[in-house]
């Protein structure tokens, strides 16, 4: 079996599963946020059950519009807060919170071998830890909160192998953008994406989180990495809970095997209005920008901020560009502060915000007007994603976004040296 099949078999009481099997799957963690939780709460209450299946396995994080931007978002958060208190759920809000997909691994809640379901499409992030993690609708999450189970069809698995070592400015964001550009936004439709190869073995956890996070942008059901020494180092000291490690069998059957030479992958830029509309930086041309966003559940971790700071140190953001830096969690913010990264950003002329999804979804703290362009380390660039339908979002890695903020146009980091 593949990694996904092994985890699903273990959680459905079966000796083995095959693609296409319909399964009732036990959940280890159930997640929702300030957009999706209120719907799940209303549906949960319609079920008429007195309590959730296990409050220690249900997490709610208001991260999209928090700190609250208006009365409606405050009402949504209040509803979550009261429900979480009533049922004793895990709840992380302003001052303690962060972006959900950053803080769950950080706090040792997401672990290898788990099945994690969330009412957010980027729940697949936790596959970086060797978990089967996938997004679901709020009504499914309501049932999961009540029963601890969900049903799903076992997905096929596509194996991606990355050979060699990437160049200086090429990281996890570039590997996944290149992959999505190659196979398309439906290239892994309802498939588990399994990542392998020398490049992956040498990739840090933050880069792995980025790649797993964007599996959904290729239509993937999940994005998974094998547990190795890098995973174990990351988990050390984060949890005392036991976890199970699964690995794909040598004779596992894959729907496809796709291979790449990472040494040939340049830093990538996804042009509007799809994550698959990618170009290597050498073919981008002259594209002026109005805003640069560095952060989100894709690239708001400490290594991402270090990369951006490395480019911005001793330099100034172009006076015609708004550069917004969003640490992914309070811990990331604190670590960046201790390392002097926040000072670098502020001296460069960037604005540093409390952790929030904010501008990624056109929520707040970075909305675009008509005709404006933004280069962003986020994961989606659909029409109107970050504001006005006539604005444009270009996706890139943190170093490239920082370089672009300095030069006022989409640029390769080496141009600032």
With cut-offs at 50, 70 and 90, classify the pLDDT of residue 125: very high
User: Considering the entire predicted model, what is its pTM?
Assistant: 0.95
Separation of alpha carbons 222 and 5, rounded Å? 12
Instruction: For residue range 399-416, list pLDDT tens digits in order.
Output: 999 999 999 999 999 888
Average pLDDT over residues 311-336: 97
* Contact indicator for 26, 148 with CB cutoff of 8 Å: yes
Give the H or E element holding residue 59.
strand 58-61
Rounded CA-CA distance 205/218 in Å is 21
> Closest Cα partner for 142 from 13, 23, 7, 49?
49
Phi, psi (degrees; rounded to nearest 5) at 281: -55, -30
Q: pLDDT tens, 21-64? A: 999 999 999 999 999 999 999 999 999 999 999 999 999 999 99
Q: How far apart are CA 391 and CA 98, in angstroms?
A: 27
User: Token pair for residue 182?
Assistant: 């190659």
Predicted pLDDT of residue 416: 83
363 near 69, Cβ under 8 Å?
A: yes
To the nearest 10°, report the CA torsion of 196, 197, 202, 205: -10
378-404 tens-digit pLDDT? 999 999 999 999 999 999 999 999 999
139 band by pLDDT with thresholds 50, 70 and 90: very high
What pLDDT, on the 0 to 100 scale, is given for residue 97? 80
* pLDDT tier, 72 (very low <50, low <70, confident <90, very high otherwise): very high
Secondary structure (3-state) at 282 = helix
Mean pLDDT of 291-317: 97
In this prediction, residues 241-269 reach a mean pLDDT of: 96
Distance of alpha carbon 167 from alpha carbon 416, whole angstroms? 17
Our measurement of the distance from residue 18's CA atom to the centroid of its chain's CA atoms, rounded to an integer in Å, reads 27
Q: What is the mean pLDDT of residues 125-133?
A: 98
The answer, yes or no, to whether residue 166 has pLDDT greater than 90, is: yes
* CB contact burial 116-135 (16+ within 10 A = b; e otherwise): bbbbbbbbbbbbbbbbbbbb
Q: What pLDDT, on the 0 to 100 scale, is given for residue 66? A: 85
For residue 179, CA distances in Å to 206, 215, 277 come to 18, 10, 11
> In percent, how much of the chain has pLDDT > 70?
100
Structure tokens given for 364: 């707040």
> CB–CB of 176/210 below 8 Å?
yes
Question: How high is the pLDDT of residue 246?
Answer: 97
CA angle 100, 181, 138 (to 5 degrees): 30
Preceding peptide of 18 cis, ω within 30°:
no
Considering only CA atoms, which of 393, 400, 208, 225 is closest in space to residue 298?
A: 208
What phi, psi does 32 have (nearest 5°)? -155, 165
Mean pLDDT of 289-297: 97
Task: At 385, list the tokens.
Answer: 């994603």
156: β partners: 191
Sign, CA dihedral 76-82-88-90, equals: positive
Quote the CA–CA distance of 17 and 21 in Å, as a whole number: 7
- Please give the CATH topology (third level) of the domain spanning 269-416: Aconitase; domain 3 (3.30.499)
Residues constituting the chain: 417
Q: How high is the pLDDT of residue 340?
A: 97
What pLDDT, on a 0 to 100 scale, did the predictor assign at position 240? 85
Q: What backbone torsions phi and psi does residue 232 show, to the nearest 5 degrees?
A: -65, -35
The rounded distance, in Å, linking the Cα atoms of 64 and 84 is 17
- β-strands 191-196, 90-91: how paired? unpaired
pLDDT of 130 above 80: yes
Every domain of the chain with CATH number 3.30.499.10 lies at 3-260, 269-416
Q: How far is CA 67 from CA 64, 72, 90, in A?
A: 9, 12, 18
Tokens of 119: 């009412």
How much is the pLDDT for 94? 87
Alpha carbon distance 314, 323 (integer Å):
15
pLDDT at 286: 97
DSSP code, position 314: T
Pick the CATH number of 3-260 from 3.40.50.300, 3.30.499.10, 3.30.40.230, 3.40.720.10: 3.30.499.10
Q: Which of 188, 397, 394, 175 is nearest to 264 (CA)?
A: 175
Q: Report percent pLDDT > 90 for the chain.
A: 93
Task: State residue 158's pLDDT score.
Answer: 98
pLDDT one-digit tens code per residue, 187-226: 999 999 999 999 999 999 999 999 999 999 999 999 999 9
pLDDT in tens, 140-163: 999 999 999 999 999 999 999 999
Report cis status (omega within 30 of 0) of the bond before 362.
no
Judged on CB neighbours under 10 Å (0-12, 13-18, 19+), 285 is exposed
Cα torsion 281, 350, 312, 321: sign: positive
């Amino acid at each position: 079996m593949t990694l996904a099949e092994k985890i699903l078999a273990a959680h459905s009481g079966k000796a083995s599963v095959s693609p296409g099997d319909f399964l009732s799957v036990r959940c280890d963690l159930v997640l929702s946020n300030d957009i999706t939780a209120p719907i799940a709460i209303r549906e949960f209450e319609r079920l008429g059950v007195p309590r959730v299946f296990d409050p220690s396995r249900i997490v709610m994080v208001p991260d999209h519009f928090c700190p609250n931007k208006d009365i409606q978002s405050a009402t949504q958060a209040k509803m979550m807060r009261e429900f979480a208190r009533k049922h004793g759920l895990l709840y992380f809000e302003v001052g303690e919170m962060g972006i959900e997909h950053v803080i769950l691994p950080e706090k040792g809640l997401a672990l290898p071998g788990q099945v994690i379901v969330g009412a957010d499409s980027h729940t697949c992030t936790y596959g970086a830890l060797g978990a089967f993690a996938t997004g679901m609708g709020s009504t499914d999450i309501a049932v999961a909160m009540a029963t601890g189970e969900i049903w799903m069809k076992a997905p096929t698995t596509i194996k991606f192998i990355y050979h060699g070592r990437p160049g200086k400015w090429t990281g996890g964001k570039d590997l996944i953008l290149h992959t999505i550009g190659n196979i398309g936004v439906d290239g892994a439709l309802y498939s588990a994406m399994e990542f392998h190869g020398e490049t992956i073995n040498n990739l840090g956890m933050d880069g792995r989180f980025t790649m797993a996070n964007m599996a959904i942008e290729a239509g993937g059901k999940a994005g998974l990495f094998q547990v190795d020494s890098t995973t174990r180092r990351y988990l050390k000291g984060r949890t005392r809970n036991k976890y199970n490690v699964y690995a794909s069998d040598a004779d596992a059957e894959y729907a496809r095997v796709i291979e790449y030479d990472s040494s040939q992958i340049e830093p990538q830029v996804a042009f509007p209005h799809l994550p698959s509309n990618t170009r290597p930086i050498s073919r981008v041309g002259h594209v002026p920008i109005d805003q640069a966003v560095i952060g989100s559940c894709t690239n708001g971790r400490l290594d991402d901020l270090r990369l951006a700071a490395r480019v911005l140190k001793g330099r100034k953001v172009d006076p015609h560009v708004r550069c917004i830096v969003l640490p992914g969690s309070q811990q990331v913010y604190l670590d960046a502060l201790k390392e002097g990264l926040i000072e670098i950003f502020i001296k460069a002329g960037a604005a540093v915000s409390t952790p929030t999804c904010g501008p990624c979804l056109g929520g707040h703290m970075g909305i675009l007007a008509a005709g404006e362009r933004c280069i962003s380390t986020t994961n989606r660039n659909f029409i109107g994603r970050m504001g006005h339908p006539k604005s444009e979002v270009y996706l890139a890695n943190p170093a490239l976004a920082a370089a672009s903020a300095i030069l006022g146009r989409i640029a390769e980091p080496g141009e600032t040296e």
